[in-house]
Amino acid sequence: MRTILSALFILVFSSIYSQSVDKSLCYKQDFDHLVKLLLETHPDPYSAFGGQIEFFKSKQEAEKSIESIKSEEEFALFVNSFLSRLDDGHTNINLPKSSSKAQFPIRFKISTDAIFVYATSEEYSDLKGCKLVKINSKPIDYWAKKCKAFIQSENIYGEYFSLLNAISDSNISKKLFDTEVLTMTFSNEKEKESQKEISYNENVKINYPKSKIEIEADNKLLYWSMIGKTENVAYLSWNSILCREMLQDTYKNRPDNINLYLNWAFGYLNEKPSGNIEEDIKKVPSLYEQIYLLFEEIAKRKSKYLIIDLRYNSGGSTPTVRPILYKIYGDKYLNYNFDTEMIKRISPLYLQKFGFKDIDEYNKSMGTKLKTGDYIFASFGNLDKAKSLEQRREAIENGVEGFGADFIKKTKQLGDVRIYILTSPSTFSAAYHFTYYLKELGKSTIIGVASRQAGNTFMETTSFSLPNTKLTGSISNSKQVLFKNDPEKGKVLRPDIEMMWKDYFYYSFDKNSEILKILDIIDSKTE
């Protein structure tokens, strides 16, 4: 009997050991595959590590911990910790969707100078507006820096943004803070500090604040309205650089990606795609139809102000904004010299992203003689200066990379209108590009909190999937330098009017405090 039990024990132990070895081998293979894709695709994977030798030294050091990884979530965090050295928000692995239903009962917001309580469950309603000073007796900046090992960031506002994401996810929170209960230190308007122990719970009901200015919208992606005391201020909310035209272009040129983009778009429409792709595309708001109607209304009401709200816009497709820039700035946009650099690297993933089967097909289509691994050295934003102004005008009026030809033909120039651009740490990628364009070309004011996107950094998503775990992610295929002579600005693009904690306090922490402040600025000019 003892012999049989011993044999069973050995069999079970061997099975468990075998499964553990198999998992470790899968993680090791996936990590090797990721590194291969990184070295093929990323414009500069070595410098952040101190060079090629230090890169591989760091890789080999990291691999020592793979055997201790017990889940795909831990593996994803391990990968992101390795990639965090790049300071690259477009190079990461997506964390598996958490199965935990536990939620944190507080939602926070970032001002230029603080993190403060924005919304809570009933139990913590007395904390509204209070600044978050410490977590587990350590200052916020300590945790923001530490959080970089879990979630990529490019500047201090990206670190704060990542910290709030970590707090909102109970699984990441446990690993970051090494505890399930967070001891938080808060400071009120009188600078009096208090501590609370706060736990994650299921079925948390958050009471979000109302606003003095509620703007009607039939979707959460793209809409406009006329606001202000006399409804003479134009307001455009665009929560992703995504629109019907982008989906139509994807369906035509890269149909393998259409379902991914449709699911992304329908997330803003509060419904699921029907499966009829052409009909589903029609349900997504048309950018150019909305802008045409908005510009017509601005002209009709002789409005002098336009608010473009990008506070919750995490990016999308930059080329879609170019027809809008032309209708705002005209020939100034065509002639403008953006003193910038945009360096792209040609890789198998890059070719796959744009639907090319190989480098030969790419060269034939683009009229180039490149090899895989080569770089394309160009500028960002500049139109072809080798062409005359008339040729550039003709080119853009025929559509920018397939976008906006009909819109450009029927839409009048915007005229003398002051533009206010709302940004926050959620503003990222192509939304940052739109902000950069508007600010660089003039007659615009940025207001809010700085974007988590850096101007001088790596850029563009190039998607991948790992063979064993099937985890997905992205690797940057470009490097951009938008501020050649200003590295500080290239790290943080500060708004012209920064929203401080005291500003949110003044507007009673209204969810649209930034809009209320703009309306007050406009009213002071017209009185």
| Euclidean distance between CA atoms 2 and 69, whole angstroms | 34
| Euclidean distance between CA atoms 267 and 404, whole angstroms | 24
Element (H, E) at 474: strand 472-474
Beta carbons of 93 and 76 less than 8 angstroms apart: yes
Is residue 472 classed exposed, middle or buried when 0-12, 13-18 and 19+ CB atoms within 10 A define those classes? Answer: middle
SS (H, E, C) 95-113: CCCCCCCCECCEEEEECCC
Is residue 27 classed exposed, middle or buried when 0-12, 13-18 and 19+ CB atoms within 10 A define those classes? Answer: buried
Look at residue 512 and give its three-state secondary structure.
coil
Residuewise pLDDT in 10s, the chain (527 residues): 555 555 545 444 444 444 555 888 999 999 999 999 999 999 999 999 999 999 999 999 999 999 999 999 999 999 999 999 999 999 999 988 877 789 999 999 999 999 999 999 999 999 999 999 999 999 999 999 999 877 889 999 999 999 999 999 998 999 899 998 999 999 999 999 999 999 999 999 999 988 999 898 889 999 999 999 999 999 999 999 999 999 999 999 889 889 989 999 999 998 899 999 999 999 999 999 999 999 999 999 999 999 999 999 999 999 999 999 999 999 999 999 999 999 999 999 999 998 899 999 999 999 999 999 999 999 998 888 788 899 888 888 888 667 889 999 999 999 999 999 999 999 999 999 999 999 999 999 999 999 999 999 999 999 999 999 999 999 999 999 999 999 999 999 999 999 999 999 999 999 999 999 999 999 997 64
- What pLDDT score was predicted for residue 4? 59
Look at residue 236 and give its three-state secondary structure.
strand
- What pLDDT score was predicted for residue 98? 75
| Euclidean distance between CA atoms 117 and 138, whole angstroms | 18
Hey, what are 504's tokens? 């949110």
* CATH match of 106-199 with 3.20.20.60: no
Report domain extents, the chain: 26-93, 106-199, 210-241+286-337+382-454+492-527, 244-284
SS (H, E, C) 296-308: HHHHHHCCCEEEE
Query: What predicted TM-score, i.e. pTM, was given to this entire model?
Result: 0.92
- What pLDDT score was predicted for residue 16? 43
| Euclidean distance between CA atoms 157 and 450, whole angstroms | 7
- What pLDDT score was predicted for residue 12? 45
Q: CB within 8 A of 338, min separation 6: which ones?
A: 379, 380, 381, 382, 440, 482
Beta carbons of 501 and 113 less than 8 angstroms apart: yes
Topology annotation, domain 210-241+286-337+382-454+492-527: 2-enoyl-CoA Hydratase; Chain A, domain 1 (3.90.226)
- What pLDDT score was predicted for residue 384? 80
Q: Centre a 10 Å sphere on the Cβ of residue 85 and count the other Cβ atoms it contains.
A: 18
- What pLDDT score was predicted for residue 6? 55
- What pLDDT score was predicted for residue 2? 56
What are the angstrom distances between the C-alpha of 477 and each of 38, 47, 353, 400? 9, 15, 10, 21
